[in-house]
């Protein structure tokens, strides 16, 4: 997907980008490639793949969730900023918080935010489990999102505690999504959320399967969740 095809694809979905926004995507790509030479941020560095698999894929949730209605977004384990930085470019009003366990990625994101002249962004170096127990962040966000971080049964425990009541947890998944959803049913309910919508589509050009699950937080998450760092991954809340 070329830069131009990316903008055309967004236009077809009703997103008309300004010159400033286009310049931000261009600069994002440049900074990603520059920094990737010093640290391993992504295996994908050629422009057509970055525009398709990182930028376009990151904004697909906006085709189904109206981010104009929300103010605060938390991205758990965003790595090099996906999906929340592309979403922030498209929706400049968003207050974006990214939590990541690797400090070098936080350093990159801070530099990137300066280059893109962002306001209302925060990058926190922490394990998601500890972050979710911190009263400053727990149940504070309108939307919590994550892309390719962990299986849904694990991810639910890291993300749902951060969403405020009435807020959303938006999970971006690939071909194994349906199986993951079955495993995560008990966890989602226990943590206080319900499945609101599931959207299925194919990523253009490479035709790979994508699923976006939109969960609504209906009630407070029990205080014991998330459990200590490493525990959700080792012993997920499963359906059995």
CA atoms of 111 and 103, how far apart (whole Å): 13
* Helix or strand holding residue 140 (H, E): none
Q: What is the pLDDT of residues 66-113, one digit of tens each?
A: 999 999 999 998 889 999 999 999 999 999 999 999 999 999 999 999
Mean pLDDT of 203-232: 96
Q: What is the mean pLDDT of the chain?
A: 96
According to the annotation, is 206 in a ligand binding site?
no
Cα gap 172→156, rounded to integer Å: 12
pTM confidence score: 0.96
For the cut 70, the answer to whether the pLDDT of residue 56 exceeds it is yes
Please give the domain boundaries of the chain with CATH numbers for all domains: 60-219 (3.40.50.150)
Question: Encoding tokens for residue 111?
Answer: 């530099």
Residue 75: φ, ψ to 5°: -115, 120
129 is in an annotated binding site: yes
pLDDT tens digits, residue range 120-145? 999 999 999 999 999 999 999 999 99
77 annotated to bind ligand: yes
> pLDDT by residue (tens digit) across 178-189?
999 999 999 999
- The pLDDT confidence band at residue 239, using thresholds 50, 70 and 90, is low
């Amino acid at each position: 997907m070329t830069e131009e095809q990316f903008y055309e694809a967004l236009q077809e979905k009703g997103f008309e980008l300004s010159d400033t926004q286009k310049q931000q995507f261009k600069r994002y790509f440049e900074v990603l490639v520059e920094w990737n030479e010093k640290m391993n941020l992504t295996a994908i560095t050629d422009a057509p793949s970055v525009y398709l698999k990182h930028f376009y894929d990151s904004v697909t949730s906006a085709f189904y969730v109206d981010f104009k209605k929300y103010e605060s977004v938390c991205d758990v384990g965003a790595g090099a900023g996906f999906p929340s930085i592309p979403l922030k470019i498209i929706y400049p009003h968003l207050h974006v918080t990214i939590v990541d366990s690797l400090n070098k990625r936080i350093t990159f994101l801070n530099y990137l935010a300066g280059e893109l002249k962002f306001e209302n962004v925060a990058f926190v170096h922490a394990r998601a489990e500890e972050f979710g127990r911190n009263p400053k962040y727990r149940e504070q966000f309108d939307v919590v999102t994550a892309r390719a971080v962990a299986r849904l049964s694990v991810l639910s425990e890291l993300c749902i505690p951060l969403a405020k009541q009435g807020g959303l947890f938006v999970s971006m998944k690939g071909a194994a999504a349906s199986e993951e959803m079955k495993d995560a049913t008990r966890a989602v309910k226990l943590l206080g959320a319900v499945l609101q919508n599931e959207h299925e589509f194919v990523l253009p050009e490479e035709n790979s399967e994508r699923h976006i699950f939109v969960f609504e937080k209906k009630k407070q998450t029990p205080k014991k969740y998330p459990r200590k760092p490493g525990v959700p991954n080792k012993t997920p809340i499963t359906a059995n």
